[in-house]
A = this chain, B = another copy of it.
Amino acid sequence: MTPEAKLKRLKDLVSEVWDLHMAAAVLSWDQETYMPPRGAAARGQQLSTISRLAHIKATDEEIGRLLDDLAPLAAQWNPDSDEARLVKVTRREYEKNTKVPADFVAEESRVTSEALMAWREAKAKADFGLFEPHLARIVALKKQYAEFFAPYDHIYDPLLDDFEPGLKTADVQRIFNALRPQQVALVQAIAQRPQPDDRFLHQPFDVQKQWDFGVEVITAFGFDWARGRQDKSAHPFTTAFSVDDVRITTRIEPDFLGTGLFGTMHECGHALYELGVAPELERTPLGHGASLAIHESQSRLWENLVGRSRAFWEHFYPRLQDTFPTQLGNVDLETFYRGINRVSPSLIRTEADEATYNLHIMLRLELEIGLLEGTIAVKDLPEVWRAKMKEYLGVAPSNDAEGVLQDIHWSMGSIGYFSTYALGNLISAQWWQKMEEDIPDLEAQIRRGEFGELLDWLRAHVHRHGAKFEPQELVQRVVGTGIDPEPYMRYLWAKYGEIYGL
């Protein structure tokens, strides 16, 4: 075979794996949106079969041989070309996939499916003891998993690498160590000040009108309805079946405006990213977002830096008041703006505001690292959780359902990605700072409800690259430095300094 033929063959093989993953994504989307309740058992079997076949195809030795054959050639290609990056990323994923034995995957699947059931019961009863032995088994498996990738700098590195390619535990710790004291200081400063009123957000709001307003906002953002759609689900998410078929879901609460409104913008941010990936990367391992942190940098940017800004509401608030005249007719713009930006240390991560969110994340990362290093025992988790909550946020849960049992992630075997949420916040502010340099009237455009230039900037600098570059590399290319907490902290201090008069 010629090198061209080998590259073509490699693309065919990875496209087959891609199609299987996309099929699984359609099945999962349906499961969360439209599937009738009794359909779950068969759907589980279908997903299991598809995933198993995808794994078999992804670890096909022919892929390994083609990568070996192409390696000396690829070394001579432009390292930033699609082809060179395809070989690099496929090699990376192939090696990760082939290092983990099928038996281990099956065992992990068994353990986590039991753990998930145990977690549900434990959370319902607020009894960590019911979940403890399952979590201990999961931690043991994660340690075993890390060993497949030995030698490593830190035992947590292989876990983190699954979500943030190339990022090291030491990098995250360095970033978080710089961030933590500033976040804590901010929250403590805010706690000394009077709170803005946000009770007007907690009223009955017609669900269809909330939906329609969300549609109006994300249409203005640039969501392309010919290439995507929005549905309802209990837990909002974004999924892509191709660059031309990206779906978001939203949950609307009848008695609270925040969930639907900001959730829709958040998911739209994820969707715009997937919709912006260069079509020529499709059906290859490069054809999706670069990492969870980069993804979160998009969703958070649209939700917070745009959607909770004063400029945005200067344009949209009159429309929102027209939509809900009885609820908001007497609430002026400034009151609304302060209300949606109220900071209040709370027990539950998913309800946290911009100023406190990262502290929830840091706590989880520290616990995960401690579990993997063996410096924290599973049985001690509830106590460590309470102590750290008190230290960082000044509040402590009265029971484990509001504490260590609140998140589903560990029960599903997902250890290693909480930090991506906080990293996404930091990166969103880095993009923003660079964008303000490149688009001097950015704020004025937003004030006019114009998002075209903003979206074009994101497409050109972030979206179109798909997964060609590792997250740190992508940030470096665009803003000239690595992941850096300073822009985000400046953003928070400026915003909340003004709101709270700090």
Contact = CB atoms under 8 A, between A and B. Distances in A.
A200 B326 CA distance: 44
B36 A242 contact: no
A22 interface: yes
Contacts of A38: 224, 226-227, 244-245
Interface string A1-33: 000000000000001100110111011001000
A222 to B, nearest CB: 15
Nearest to A283: B45
Given A19-B49, A30-B26, A36 B283 contact: no
19 contacts: A16-B49, A16-B53, A19-B45, A22-B42, A22-B46, A23-B23, A26-B30, A30-B30, A35-B245, A36-B226, A36-B227, A36-B228, A37-B226, A39-B227, A42-B243, A42-B282, A43-B241, A43-B242, A45-B283
Interface in A217-234: 224-229, 231
A50 interface: yes
A73 interface: no
A35 B231 CA distance: 12
Contacts of A49: 15-16, 19-20, 23
Given A43-B245, A241-B39, A19 B50 contact: yes
Given A45-B283, A46-B22, A245 B27 contact: no
A106 interface: no
B245 A42 contact: yes
Interface residues of A, number: 38
Copies of this protein in the assembly total 2
Contact of A26 (B15, B27, B224, B283): B27
Q: Which of A23, A27, A41, A242 gathers the greatest number of chain B CB atoms within 10 Å?
A: A23
Contacts of A30: 26, 30
A250 to B, nearest CB: 15
Closest 10 CB pairs of A and B: A42-B242, A39-B245, A19-B49, A38-B244, A38-B227, A19-B46, A38-B226, A37-B226, A23-B23, A22-B46
A242 B39 contact: yes
A244 B46 CA distance: 13
Interface in A188-235: 224-229, 231
A206 B82 CA distance: 54
A34 B229 contact: yes
Contacts of A24: 23
Given A36-B228, A39-B242, 7 more contacts: A15-B45, A15-B49, A23-B23, A26-B30, A34-B34, A41-B244, A46-B241
Contacts of A46: 19, 22-23, 26, 241
A42 B244 CA distance: 8
Interface in A47-101: 49-50, 53
Contacts of A228: 36
Contacts of A225: 36
A20 B36 CA distance: 20
